[in-house]
Chains A and B, each alone.
Chain A
Amino acid sequence: MNRAVILRGILGAVLLIGAWEFSVRFFALPQWILPPPSGILATAWSGRAALLPAAAMTAYEALSGYAIGAVLGVGLAMLLALAAPLRAVLLPMVVAVNSIPVAAYAPLALLWFGTGALSKIIMVAFIVGFTVFLNALDGLTRVDPAAIALLRSFGAGRLRLLWTLRLPAALPSIATGLRISTVRAMIVTLVTEMLGSQLGLGWTIFQAVLLIDFLQVWAAILVASIISLLFFGVVSAIERRVVFWR
Protein backbone atom coordinates (compact mmCIF):
# COMPACT_ATOMS: atom_id res chain seq x y z
CA MET A 1 0.00 0.00 0.00
CA ASN A 2 1.51 3.34 -0.94
CA ARG A 3 1.26 6.64 0.85
CA ALA A 4 -1.19 8.23 -1.57
CA VAL A 5 -3.71 5.44 -0.96
CA ILE A 6 -3.35 5.76 2.82
CA LEU A 7 -3.74 9.54 2.62
CA ARG A 8 -6.89 9.20 0.55
CA GLY A 9 -8.27 6.75 3.11
CA ILE A 10 -7.62 9.21 5.94
CA LEU A 11 -9.12 12.01 3.86
CA GLY A 12 -12.23 9.90 3.31
CA ALA A 13 -12.63 9.21 7.03
CA VAL A 14 -12.13 12.86 7.98
CA LEU A 15 -14.64 13.96 5.32
CA LEU A 16 -17.19 11.41 6.55
CA ILE A 17 -16.96 12.44 10.21
CA GLY A 18 -16.93 16.12 9.23
CA ALA A 19 -19.99 15.72 7.01
CA TRP A 20 -21.74 13.76 9.79
CA GLU A 21 -21.08 16.45 12.41
CA PHE A 22 -21.96 19.25 9.99
CA SER A 23 -25.22 17.76 8.69
CA VAL A 24 -26.44 16.94 12.20
CA ARG A 25 -25.89 20.56 13.24
CA PHE A 26 -26.98 22.19 9.99
CA PHE A 27 -30.22 20.24 9.56
CA ALA A 28 -30.74 20.17 13.35
CA LEU A 29 -31.37 16.41 13.18
CA PRO A 30 -33.10 15.04 16.26
CA GLN A 31 -30.97 12.68 18.36
CA TRP A 32 -33.00 9.59 17.56
CA ILE A 33 -32.15 9.93 13.90
CA LEU A 34 -28.47 10.65 14.30
CA PRO A 35 -26.53 12.11 17.21
CA PRO A 36 -23.37 14.11 16.33
CA PRO A 37 -19.96 12.40 16.75
CA SER A 38 -19.04 14.98 19.37
CA GLY A 39 -22.15 14.10 21.38
CA ILE A 40 -21.38 10.37 21.21
CA LEU A 41 -17.82 10.97 22.42
CA ALA A 42 -19.05 13.17 25.25
CA THR A 43 -21.60 10.55 26.34
CA ALA A 44 -19.00 7.77 26.21
CA TRP A 45 -16.62 9.87 28.33
CA SER A 46 -19.14 10.94 30.94
CA GLY A 47 -20.58 7.42 31.16
CA ARG A 48 -17.17 5.75 31.37
CA ALA A 49 -17.73 4.51 34.92
CA ALA A 50 -20.52 2.25 33.65
CA LEU A 51 -19.15 1.53 30.18
CA LEU A 52 -15.69 0.35 31.25
CA PRO A 53 -16.79 -2.63 33.39
CA ALA A 54 -19.25 -3.62 30.64
CA ALA A 55 -16.47 -3.37 28.04
CA ALA A 56 -14.11 -5.42 30.22
CA MET A 57 -16.76 -8.15 30.58
CA THR A 58 -17.45 -8.24 26.83
CA ALA A 59 -13.73 -8.36 26.03
CA TYR A 60 -13.20 -11.14 28.58
CA GLU A 61 -16.01 -13.27 27.13
CA ALA A 62 -14.95 -12.68 23.52
CA LEU A 63 -11.25 -13.40 24.18
CA SER A 64 -11.75 -16.56 26.28
CA GLY A 65 -14.23 -17.98 23.79
CA TYR A 66 -11.91 -17.06 20.94
CA ALA A 67 -8.91 -18.82 22.51
CA ILE A 68 -10.88 -22.01 23.27
CA GLY A 69 -12.50 -22.05 19.83
CA ALA A 70 -9.20 -21.49 18.01
CA VAL A 71 -7.49 -24.39 19.77
CA LEU A 72 -10.46 -26.72 19.26
CA GLY A 73 -10.86 -25.71 15.61
CA VAL A 74 -7.22 -26.31 14.64
CA GLY A 75 -7.06 -29.53 16.70
CA LEU A 76 -10.19 -30.99 15.15
CA ALA A 77 -9.05 -30.03 11.65
CA MET A 78 -5.71 -31.81 12.20
CA LEU A 79 -7.55 -34.89 13.41
CA LEU A 80 -9.83 -34.96 10.38
CA ALA A 81 -6.94 -34.25 8.02
CA LEU A 82 -5.47 -37.57 9.18
CA ALA A 83 -8.74 -39.48 8.75
CA ALA A 84 -10.08 -39.05 5.22
CA PRO A 85 -13.10 -41.44 5.52
CA LEU A 86 -14.35 -39.71 8.67
CA ARG A 87 -13.94 -36.36 6.92
CA ALA A 88 -16.17 -37.42 4.01
CA VAL A 89 -19.00 -38.22 6.46
CA LEU A 90 -18.57 -35.35 8.92
CA LEU A 91 -17.78 -32.40 6.66
CA PRO A 92 -21.17 -32.10 4.89
CA MET A 93 -22.90 -32.25 8.28
CA VAL A 94 -20.62 -29.59 9.73
CA VAL A 95 -21.34 -27.36 6.72
CA ALA A 96 -25.11 -27.92 7.11
CA VAL A 97 -25.03 -26.98 10.81
CA ASN A 98 -22.79 -24.00 10.09
CA SER A 99 -25.31 -22.54 7.63
CA ILE A 100 -27.80 -21.93 10.46
CA PRO A 101 -27.10 -18.45 11.80
CA VAL A 102 -25.78 -18.02 15.35
CA ALA A 103 -28.77 -15.92 16.27
CA ALA A 104 -30.96 -19.02 15.98
CA TYR A 105 -29.25 -21.08 18.64
CA ALA A 106 -28.02 -18.35 20.97
CA PRO A 107 -31.30 -18.65 22.99
CA LEU A 108 -30.51 -22.34 23.49
CA ALA A 109 -27.13 -21.48 25.03
CA LEU A 110 -28.84 -19.11 27.44
CA LEU A 111 -31.35 -21.72 28.57
CA TRP A 112 -28.65 -24.34 29.07
CA PHE A 113 -25.83 -22.30 30.56
CA GLY A 114 -27.60 -19.38 32.21
CA THR A 115 -27.21 -15.64 31.82
CA GLY A 116 -23.63 -15.49 33.14
CA ALA A 117 -20.39 -15.32 31.17
CA LEU A 118 -20.38 -19.10 30.51
CA SER A 119 -23.14 -19.05 27.89
CA LYS A 120 -21.34 -16.31 25.93
CA ILE A 121 -17.94 -18.01 26.11
CA ILE A 122 -19.42 -21.29 24.87
CA MET A 123 -21.25 -19.56 22.00
CA VAL A 124 -18.09 -17.71 20.93
CA ALA A 125 -15.96 -20.87 21.21
CA PHE A 126 -18.51 -22.70 19.07
CA ILE A 127 -18.58 -20.11 16.27
CA VAL A 128 -14.84 -19.40 16.28
CA GLY A 129 -14.23 -23.15 16.38
CA PHE A 130 -16.38 -23.67 13.28
CA THR A 131 -14.73 -20.84 11.33
CA VAL A 132 -11.18 -21.83 12.21
CA PHE A 133 -11.95 -25.53 11.65
CA LEU A 134 -13.32 -25.00 8.13
CA ASN A 135 -10.42 -22.73 7.13
CA ALA A 136 -7.76 -24.97 8.68
CA LEU A 137 -9.17 -28.12 7.08
CA ASP A 138 -9.28 -26.39 3.72
CA GLY A 139 -5.60 -25.49 4.05
CA LEU A 140 -4.53 -28.87 5.43
CA THR A 141 -6.16 -30.85 2.63
CA ARG A 142 -5.23 -28.56 -0.25
CA VAL A 143 -1.55 -29.48 -0.35
CA ASP A 144 0.27 -30.14 -3.59
CA PRO A 145 0.00 -33.95 -4.20
CA ALA A 146 3.47 -33.95 -5.75
CA ALA A 147 4.95 -32.62 -2.50
CA ILE A 148 3.14 -35.36 -0.55
CA ALA A 149 4.42 -38.02 -2.93
CA LEU A 150 7.96 -36.70 -2.58
CA LEU A 151 7.91 -36.80 1.25
CA ARG A 152 6.27 -40.21 1.15
CA SER A 153 9.06 -41.52 -1.07
CA PHE A 154 11.53 -40.51 1.62
CA GLY A 155 9.57 -42.62 4.08
CA ALA A 156 7.57 -39.92 5.89
CA GLY A 157 4.53 -41.22 7.79
CA ARG A 158 1.17 -39.49 8.18
CA LEU A 159 2.12 -37.61 11.33
CA ARG A 160 5.40 -36.52 9.82
CA LEU A 161 3.53 -35.28 6.73
CA LEU A 162 1.13 -33.36 8.90
CA TRP A 163 3.86 -31.69 10.90
CA THR A 164 6.44 -30.85 8.21
CA LEU A 165 4.22 -30.25 5.19
CA ARG A 166 0.50 -29.85 5.82
CA LEU A 167 0.67 -27.57 8.84
CA PRO A 168 3.10 -25.00 7.41
CA ALA A 169 1.22 -25.10 4.09
CA ALA A 170 -2.07 -24.51 5.93
CA LEU A 171 -0.79 -21.59 8.02
CA PRO A 172 -2.08 -18.88 5.65
CA SER A 173 -5.63 -20.25 5.66
CA ILE A 174 -5.54 -20.88 9.43
CA ALA A 175 -4.44 -17.27 9.86
CA THR A 176 -7.28 -16.08 7.62
CA GLY A 177 -9.75 -18.06 9.74
CA LEU A 178 -8.32 -16.56 12.92
CA ARG A 179 -8.54 -13.04 11.49
CA ILE A 180 -12.16 -13.37 10.33
CA SER A 181 -13.02 -14.92 13.70
CA THR A 182 -12.02 -11.82 15.67
CA VAL A 183 -14.96 -9.80 14.38
CA ARG A 184 -17.30 -12.82 14.64
CA ALA A 185 -16.26 -13.38 18.26
CA MET A 186 -17.25 -9.79 19.13
CA ILE A 187 -20.54 -10.01 17.24
CA VAL A 188 -21.51 -13.30 18.86
CA THR A 189 -20.65 -11.95 22.32
CA LEU A 190 -22.80 -8.86 21.78
CA VAL A 191 -25.71 -10.82 20.30
CA THR A 192 -25.73 -13.36 23.12
CA GLU A 193 -25.42 -10.59 25.71
CA MET A 194 -28.44 -8.85 24.21
CA LEU A 195 -30.57 -11.92 24.94
CA GLY A 196 -29.77 -11.83 28.61
CA SER A 197 -26.82 -11.12 30.89
CA GLN A 198 -25.90 -9.18 33.99
CA LEU A 199 -23.09 -7.13 32.48
CA GLY A 200 -21.64 -6.41 29.06
CA LEU A 201 -21.86 -3.98 26.14
CA GLY A 202 -24.55 -6.03 24.38
CA TRP A 203 -26.67 -5.79 27.50
CA THR A 204 -25.95 -2.05 27.75
CA ILE A 205 -27.15 -1.61 24.16
CA PHE A 206 -30.28 -3.67 24.72
CA GLN A 207 -31.18 -1.77 27.92
CA ALA A 208 -30.52 1.59 26.25
CA VAL A 209 -32.85 0.65 23.38
CA LEU A 210 -35.61 -0.22 25.82
CA LEU A 211 -35.06 3.08 27.64
CA ILE A 212 -34.90 4.88 24.26
CA ASP A 213 -31.55 6.38 25.25
CA PHE A 214 -30.03 6.85 21.77
CA LEU A 215 -26.78 8.48 22.81
CA GLN A 216 -26.07 5.57 25.14
CA VAL A 217 -26.67 3.06 22.29
CA TRP A 218 -24.20 4.91 20.07
CA ALA A 219 -21.65 5.27 22.89
CA ALA A 220 -21.78 1.51 23.59
CA ILE A 221 -21.42 0.77 19.86
CA LEU A 222 -18.42 3.11 19.76
CA VAL A 223 -16.70 1.27 22.63
CA ALA A 224 -17.53 -2.14 21.13
CA SER A 225 -16.14 -1.00 17.77
CA ILE A 226 -12.89 0.17 19.35
CA ILE A 227 -12.42 -3.22 21.06
CA SER A 228 -13.27 -4.99 17.82
CA LEU A 229 -10.82 -2.88 15.79
CA LEU A 230 -8.01 -3.40 18.32
CA PHE A 231 -8.62 -7.15 18.39
CA PHE A 232 -8.66 -7.30 14.58
CA GLY A 233 -5.55 -5.12 14.33
CA VAL A 234 -3.52 -7.17 16.81
CA VAL A 235 -4.42 -10.50 15.17
CA SER A 236 -3.66 -9.07 11.68
CA ALA A 237 -0.27 -7.82 12.89
CA ILE A 238 0.57 -11.25 14.35
CA GLU A 239 -0.58 -12.84 11.10
CA ARG A 240 1.81 -10.68 9.07
CA ARG A 241 4.67 -11.72 11.36
CA VAL A 242 3.95 -15.45 11.36
CA VAL A 243 2.91 -15.83 7.71
CA PHE A 244 5.71 -13.53 6.55
CA TRP A 245 6.04 -15.19 3.11
CA ARG A 246 2.56 -14.26 2.02
Chain B
Amino acid sequence: MLRAALPILLLFALWEAAVVGLAIDPFYLPSIRVVAAAMQAQSGFYLDAYLVTLAEAALGFAMGGLVGVASALLFTRLPMVKDMVLPIFIVSQTVPVIAFGAIVVLWFGNTLMAKAAIAFYLTFFPVTINTLAGIAAVDARQVALLRSFGAGQGAVMRKLLLPAALPRIFTALRLSASLALAGAIVGEWFGATRGVGAMLLAAMFNEQIVSLWASILVAAAVGGTLFAAVALAERAMVFWREEL
Protein backbone atom coordinates (compact mmCIF):
# COMPACT_ATOMS: atom_id res chain seq x y z
CA MET B 1 0.00 0.00 0.00
CA LEU B 2 2.74 2.40 1.05
CA ARG B 3 4.87 1.28 -1.88
CA ALA B 4 2.09 2.26 -4.28
CA ALA B 5 1.48 5.63 -2.61
CA LEU B 6 5.12 6.70 -2.50
CA PRO B 7 5.72 7.46 -6.19
CA ILE B 8 2.43 9.38 -6.31
CA LEU B 9 3.38 11.52 -3.31
CA LEU B 10 6.80 12.07 -4.86
CA LEU B 11 5.17 13.11 -8.11
CA PHE B 12 2.95 15.61 -6.28
CA ALA B 13 5.97 17.00 -4.43
CA LEU B 14 7.89 17.40 -7.72
CA TRP B 15 4.85 19.07 -9.27
CA GLU B 16 4.54 21.62 -6.45
CA ALA B 17 8.30 22.22 -6.34
CA ALA B 18 8.39 22.82 -10.10
CA VAL B 19 5.48 25.27 -9.98
CA VAL B 20 6.94 27.25 -7.06
CA GLY B 21 10.62 26.92 -7.96
CA LEU B 22 10.45 27.57 -11.69
CA ALA B 23 7.52 30.02 -11.49
CA ILE B 24 5.62 28.12 -14.20
CA ASP B 25 2.78 29.98 -15.87
CA PRO B 26 -0.46 28.71 -14.22
CA PHE B 27 -1.88 28.34 -17.73
CA TYR B 28 0.47 25.39 -18.23
CA LEU B 29 0.58 23.95 -14.75
CA PRO B 30 -1.41 25.38 -11.86
CA SER B 31 -0.21 24.66 -8.34
CA ILE B 32 -1.52 21.37 -6.98
CA ARG B 33 -2.91 23.25 -3.98
CA VAL B 34 -5.11 25.29 -6.30
CA VAL B 35 -6.27 22.11 -8.08
CA ALA B 36 -6.98 20.37 -4.77
CA ALA B 37 -8.93 23.39 -3.50
CA ALA B 38 -11.03 23.42 -6.67
CA MET B 39 -11.76 19.71 -6.27
CA GLN B 40 -12.76 20.22 -2.65
CA ALA B 41 -15.01 23.16 -3.52
CA GLN B 42 -16.96 21.03 -6.01
CA SER B 43 -16.42 17.65 -4.43
CA GLY B 44 -19.95 16.39 -5.20
CA PHE B 45 -19.49 17.17 -8.87
CA TYR B 46 -16.15 15.40 -9.13
CA LEU B 47 -17.34 12.44 -7.07
CA ASP B 48 -20.28 11.99 -9.44
CA ALA B 49 -17.95 11.99 -12.46
CA TYR B 50 -15.68 9.49 -10.72
CA LEU B 51 -18.56 7.11 -9.97
CA VAL B 52 -20.17 7.37 -13.42
CA THR B 53 -16.94 6.68 -15.30
CA LEU B 54 -15.90 3.98 -12.85
CA ALA B 55 -19.24 2.18 -13.36
CA GLU B 56 -18.89 2.32 -17.17
CA ALA B 57 -15.28 1.19 -17.24
CA ALA B 58 -15.71 -1.50 -14.57
CA LEU B 59 -18.77 -3.03 -16.23
CA GLY B 60 -17.08 -3.24 -19.63
CA PHE B 61 -13.84 -4.42 -18.05
CA ALA B 62 -15.55 -7.24 -16.14
CA MET B 63 -17.49 -8.39 -19.21
CA GLY B 64 -14.35 -8.18 -21.35
CA GLY B 65 -12.39 -10.27 -18.86
CA LEU B 66 -15.07 -12.97 -18.71
CA VAL B 67 -15.63 -13.16 -22.46
CA GLY B 68 -11.87 -13.07 -23.07
CA VAL B 69 -11.23 -16.09 -20.87
CA ALA B 70 -14.30 -17.89 -22.22
CA SER B 71 -13.30 -17.42 -25.86
CA ALA B 72 -9.75 -18.58 -25.12
CA LEU B 73 -11.18 -21.76 -23.54
CA LEU B 74 -13.45 -22.24 -26.55
CA PHE B 75 -10.50 -21.79 -28.92
CA THR B 76 -8.51 -24.37 -26.99
CA ARG B 77 -11.32 -26.90 -27.36
CA LEU B 78 -11.93 -26.10 -31.05
CA PRO B 79 -8.64 -25.34 -32.85
CA MET B 80 -10.46 -25.14 -36.19
CA VAL B 81 -12.55 -22.21 -34.95
CA LYS B 82 -9.44 -20.62 -33.50
CA ASP B 83 -7.62 -20.68 -36.85
CA MET B 84 -10.60 -19.07 -38.54
CA VAL B 85 -11.40 -16.39 -35.98
CA LEU B 86 -8.07 -15.45 -34.40
CA PRO B 87 -6.61 -13.70 -37.50
CA ILE B 88 -9.76 -11.56 -37.64
CA PHE B 89 -9.29 -10.70 -33.96
CA ILE B 90 -5.68 -9.71 -34.60
CA VAL B 91 -6.52 -7.57 -37.62
CA SER B 92 -9.39 -6.00 -35.68
CA GLN B 93 -6.86 -4.89 -33.07
CA THR B 94 -4.71 -3.02 -35.57
CA VAL B 95 -7.86 -1.10 -36.42
CA PRO B 96 -7.93 2.11 -34.43
CA VAL B 97 -10.66 0.72 -32.19
CA ILE B 98 -11.45 3.97 -30.50
CA ALA B 99 -12.85 5.28 -33.79
CA PHE B 100 -15.60 2.72 -33.33
CA GLY B 101 -16.58 4.61 -30.19
CA ALA B 102 -18.62 6.91 -32.38
CA ILE B 103 -20.57 4.04 -33.93
CA VAL B 104 -21.15 2.31 -30.61
CA VAL B 105 -22.63 5.52 -29.20
CA LEU B 106 -24.88 5.65 -32.28
CA TRP B 107 -26.04 2.09 -31.54
CA PHE B 108 -26.68 2.33 -27.82
CA GLY B 109 -27.39 6.03 -27.46
CA ASN B 110 -25.81 7.95 -24.63
CA THR B 111 -26.19 5.20 -22.09
CA LEU B 112 -24.02 3.36 -19.61
CA MET B 113 -24.08 0.39 -21.99
CA ALA B 114 -22.49 2.37 -24.85
CA LYS B 115 -19.38 3.23 -22.84
CA ALA B 116 -19.26 -0.22 -21.25
CA ALA B 117 -19.38 -1.76 -24.76
CA ILE B 118 -16.30 0.23 -25.84
CA ALA B 119 -14.45 -0.71 -22.65
CA PHE B 120 -15.48 -4.32 -23.27
CA TYR B 121 -14.09 -4.33 -26.81
CA LEU B 122 -10.73 -2.96 -25.67
CA THR B 123 -10.46 -5.42 -22.77
CA PHE B 124 -11.40 -8.77 -24.22
CA PHE B 125 -8.67 -9.12 -26.85
CA PRO B 126 -5.57 -8.85 -24.62
CA VAL B 127 -7.26 -11.25 -22.18
CA THR B 128 -8.00 -13.77 -24.94
CA ILE B 129 -4.45 -13.67 -26.30
CA ASN B 130 -2.80 -13.96 -22.88
CA THR B 131 -5.09 -16.78 -21.74
CA LEU B 132 -4.28 -18.68 -24.94
CA ALA B 133 -0.56 -18.12 -24.39
CA GLY B 134 -0.86 -19.28 -20.78
CA ILE B 135 -2.71 -22.44 -21.77
CA ALA B 136 -0.24 -23.14 -24.60
CA ALA B 137 2.65 -22.94 -22.13
CA VAL B 138 1.30 -25.81 -20.01
CA ASP B 139 3.55 -28.87 -20.08
CA ALA B 140 1.93 -31.52 -22.29
CA ARG B 141 3.19 -34.24 -19.92
CA GLN B 142 1.12 -32.75 -17.09
CA VAL B 143 -1.96 -32.96 -19.30
CA ALA B 144 -1.07 -36.55 -20.19
CA LEU B 145 -0.64 -37.40 -16.51
CA LEU B 146 -4.05 -36.03 -15.59
CA ARG B 147 -5.60 -37.84 -18.54
CA SER B 148 -3.98 -41.11 -17.44
CA PHE B 149 -5.77 -40.77 -14.11
CA GLY B 150 -9.03 -40.61 -16.05
CA ALA B 151 -9.62 -36.85 -15.98
CA GLY B 152 -11.98 -35.67 -18.72
CA GLN B 153 -11.40 -32.58 -20.88
CA GLY B 154 -13.48 -30.46 -18.52
CA ALA B 155 -11.50 -31.54 -15.49
CA VAL B 156 -8.16 -30.90 -17.23
CA MET B 157 -9.41 -27.43 -18.12
CA ARG B 158 -10.63 -26.64 -14.59
CA LYS B 159 -7.83 -28.22 -12.60
CA LEU B 160 -4.78 -27.63 -14.76
CA LEU B 161 -5.10 -25.34 -17.78
CA LEU B 162 -7.08 -22.50 -16.22
CA PRO B 163 -5.04 -22.23 -12.98
CA ALA B 164 -1.81 -22.43 -15.00
CA ALA B 165 -2.96 -19.56 -17.20
CA LEU B 166 -4.05 -17.34 -14.27
CA PRO B 167 -0.79 -15.36 -13.90
CA ARG B 168 -0.90 -14.50 -17.62
CA ILE B 169 -4.58 -13.60 -17.39
CA PHE B 170 -3.86 -11.14 -14.61
CA THR B 171 -1.01 -9.57 -16.58
CA ALA B 172 -3.52 -8.93 -19.35
CA LEU B 173 -6.10 -7.59 -16.91
CA ARG B 174 -3.64 -5.07 -15.48
CA LEU B 175 -2.84 -3.90 -19.00
CA SER B 176 -6.51 -3.70 -19.99
CA ALA B 177 -7.56 -1.70 -16.92
CA SER B 178 -6.28 1.54 -18.39
CA LEU B 179 -7.53 0.60 -21.87
CA ALA B 180 -11.04 0.09 -20.49
CA LEU B 181 -10.88 3.48 -18.81
CA ALA B 182 -9.69 5.13 -22.04
CA GLY B 183 -12.63 3.52 -23.85
CA ALA B 184 -15.12 4.84 -21.30
CA ILE B 185 -13.66 8.37 -21.42
CA VAL B 186 -13.66 8.59 -25.22
CA GLY B 187 -17.19 7.16 -25.28
CA GLU B 188 -18.26 10.11 -23.14
CA TRP B 189 -16.95 12.59 -25.71
CA PHE B 190 -19.90 11.94 -27.99
CA GLY B 191 -22.47 14.01 -26.18
CA ALA B 192 -22.44 12.65 -22.62
CA THR B 193 -23.24 15.14 -19.85
CA ARG B 194 -21.79 13.23 -16.89
CA GLY B 195 -18.47 11.49 -16.31
CA VAL B 196 -14.78 12.29 -16.53
CA GLY B 197 -14.78 12.47 -20.34
CA ALA B 198 -17.56 15.03 -20.38
CA MET B 199 -15.74 17.06 -17.72
CA LEU B 200 -12.52 17.00 -19.71
CA LEU B 201 -14.30 18.30 -22.81
CA ALA B 202 -16.11 21.05 -20.91
CA ALA B 203 -12.88 22.18 -19.25
CA MET B 204 -11.09 22.22 -22.59
CA PHE B 205 -13.74 24.22 -24.42
CA ASN B 206 -13.95 26.77 -21.59
CA GLU B 207 -10.16 26.85 -21.25
CA GLN B 208 -10.43 26.18 -17.53
CA ILE B 209 -6.99 24.80 -16.88
CA VAL B 210 -7.59 24.13 -13.16
CA SER B 211 -10.66 22.00 -13.73
CA LEU B 212 -8.88 20.25 -16.62
CA TRP B 213 -6.08 19.20 -14.25
CA ALA B 214 -8.67 18.23 -11.64
CA SER B 215 -10.39 16.02 -14.26
CA ILE B 216 -7.07 14.39 -15.13
CA LEU B 217 -6.59 13.58 -11.44
CA VAL B 218 -10.10 12.09 -11.28
CA ALA B 219 -9.28 9.95 -14.33
CA ALA B 220 -6.13 8.80 -12.56
CA ALA B 221 -8.22 7.94 -9.50
CA VAL B 222 -10.59 5.80 -11.59
CA GLY B 223 -7.61 4.06 -13.19
CA GLY B 224 -6.05 3.51 -9.77
CA THR B 225 -9.27 2.00 -8.42
CA LEU B 226 -9.49 -0.49 -11.31
CA PHE B 227 -5.82 -1.31 -10.93
CA ALA B 228 -6.15 -1.88 -7.19
CA ALA B 229 -9.18 -4.14 -7.72
CA VAL B 230 -7.19 -6.28 -10.16
CA ALA B 231 -4.21 -6.41 -7.80
CA LEU B 232 -6.44 -7.52 -4.89
CA ALA B 233 -8.12 -10.21 -6.97
CA GLU B 234 -4.72 -11.38 -8.18
CA ARG B 235 -3.43 -11.69 -4.63
CA ALA B 236 -6.48 -13.72 -3.63
CA MET B 237 -6.57 -15.99 -6.68
CA VAL B 238 -2.91 -16.44 -7.61
CA PHE B 239 -1.85 -16.93 -3.99
CA TRP B 240 0.94 -19.33 -4.96
CA ARG B 241 2.77 -16.68 -6.92
CA GLU B 242 4.42 -15.29 -3.80
CA GLU B 243 6.69 -18.31 -3.84
CA LEU B 244 8.26 -17.08 -7.03
Q: How far is the CB of A51 from chain B (nearest CB, A)?
A: 14
A23 is an interface residue with CB less than 8 A from chain B? no
Docked Cα-Cα span, A131 to B80, in Å, equals 34
Binary B-proximity of A199-241 (CB < 8 A = 1, otherwise 0):
0011001101100101001101100110011001000000000
B200 is an interface residue with CB less than 8 A from chain A? yes
Partner of A111, one of B181, B209, B219: B209
A-side contacts of B181, CB under 8 Å: 101
Partner of B99, one of A89, A107, A220: A220
Q: Is A228 a contact partner of B106 (Cβ separation < 8 A)?
A: no
Q: Which residue of B lies closest to A206 (CB)?
A: B102
Q: Is B88 a contact partner of A195 (Cβ separation < 8 A)?
A: no
Q: In the complex where A202-B99, A228-B94 touch, is A214 in contact with B106 (Cβ < 8 A)? A: yes
Docked Cα-Cα span, A121 to B95, in Å, equals 20
Binary A-proximity of B123-165 (CB < 8 A = 1, otherwise 0):
0000000000000000000000000000000000000000000
Docked Cα-Cα span, A4 to B6, in Å, equals 53
Tell me the residues in window 78-124 of chain B with beta carbons closer than 8 Å to chain A beta carbons.
Answer: 80, 83-88, 91, 93-100, 102-103, 105-107
Q: Is A12 a contact partner of B87 (Cβ separation < 8 A)?
A: yes
Q: In the complex where A9-B87, A12-B87, A190-B99 touch, is A93 in contact with B220 (Cβ < 8 A)? A: no
Q: Which residue of A lies closest to B219 (CB)?
A: A104
Q: Is B178 a contact partner of A100 (Cβ separation < 8 A)?
A: yes
Docked Cα-Cα span, A185 to B57, in Å, equals 22
Q: Is A209 a contact partner of B190 (Cβ separation < 8 A)?
A: yes
Q: Which residue of B lies closest to A104 (CB)?
A: B219
Q: Is A13 a contact partner of B87 (Cβ separation < 8 A)?
A: yes
Q: Which residue of A lies closest to B86 (CB)?
A: A9
Partner of B220, one of A100, A191, A208, A217: A100
- Interface pick from B7-15, B16-24, B34-42, B66-74: B7-15
B-side contacts of A107, CB under 8 Å: 200-201, 203-204, 212
Q: Is A12 a contact partner of B201 (Cβ separation < 8 A)?
A: no
Q: Is B11 a contact partner of A93 (Cβ separation < 8 A)?
A: yes
Docked Cα-Cα span, A96 to B5, in Å, equals 10
Q: Is A95 a contact partner of B98 (Cβ separation < 8 A)?
A: no
Q: Which of A5, A33, A104, A209 has the most CB of B within 10 A?
A: A104
Dominant SS among interface residues on chain B: helix
Q: Which residue of B lies closest to A92 (CB)?
A: B7
Docked Cα-Cα span, A72 to B197, in Å, equals 29
Docked Cα-Cα span, A225 to B200, in Å, equals 27
Partner of A99, one of B95, B98, B185, B224: B224
Q: Is B83 a contact partner of A217 (Cβ separation < 8 A)?
A: no
Q: Is A191 a contact partner of B186 (Cβ separation < 8 A)?
A: yes
B65 is an interface residue with CB less than 8 A from chain A? no
Partner of A8, one of B84, B93, B96, B189: B84
A-side contacts of B189, CB under 8 Å: 103, 194-195
Q: Which residue of A lies closest to B218 (CB)?
A: A104
B215 is an interface residue with CB less than 8 A from chain A? yes
A-side contacts of B207, CB under 8 Å: 111
Binary B-proximity of A1-31 (CB < 8 A = 1, otherwise 0):
0001100110111011000000000000000
- Extra contacts, 12 of them, besides A208-B102, A217-B99 (Cβ < 8 A), are A9-B84, A9-B86, A12-B88, A96-B8, A99-B177, A103-B186, A104-B196, A104-B215, A107-B200, A191-B98, A221-B103, A225-B95
Interface residues of A (CB under 8 A from B): 4-5, 8-9, 11-13, 15-16, 32-33, 89, 92-93, 95-97, 99-105, 107-108, 110-112, 182-183, 186-187, 190-191, 194-195, 201-202, 205-206, 208-209, 212, 214, 217-218, 220-221, 224-225, 228-229, 232
A–B Cβ pairs within 8 angstroms, 24 of them: A8-B84, A9-B83, A9-B87, A9-B88, A13-B91, A93-B7, A95-B7, A99-B178, A99-B224, A100-B216, A101-B181, A107-B204, A183-B94, A187-B97, A187-B98, A195-B204, A201-B99, A206-B102, A208-B102, A209-B106, A218-B103, A224-B99, A229-B91, A229-B94
